[in-house]
Amino acid sequence: MATILSASLNVAKIDQTKLIDGRTGKFLNVTITINDEVDKFGNNASIFESQSKEEREAKTPKNYLGNGKVIWTSDKKNNDLPF
């Protein structure tokens, strides 16, 4: 199944220590969750900074960066998407 998301990030909330220097720039690993229900703004995706195994095991709170919505999917069975 192919899916396209549209999202907004609050870049001021990015933990600068999580930025990774790469050959072609700085990178941030993120985790995107897609929820079954939409919120009052039509969003059904949340974006967080990715956590290490140690952070997950320690139950460190996630750093929420923004939200978004699925704007297209090839999944013909999922007819309840809000678009």
Q: Side-chain half-sphere of 51: how many Cα atoms within 13 Å?
A: 15
Task: Write the pLDDT tens digit of every residue in 28-59.
Answer: 999 999 999 999 999 999 999 999 999 999 99
pTM value is 0.82
Q: Which residues contact 72 (CB under 8 A, 6 or more apart)?
A: 2, 3, 4, 83
Could you tell me the residue ranges of all domains in the chain? 3-73
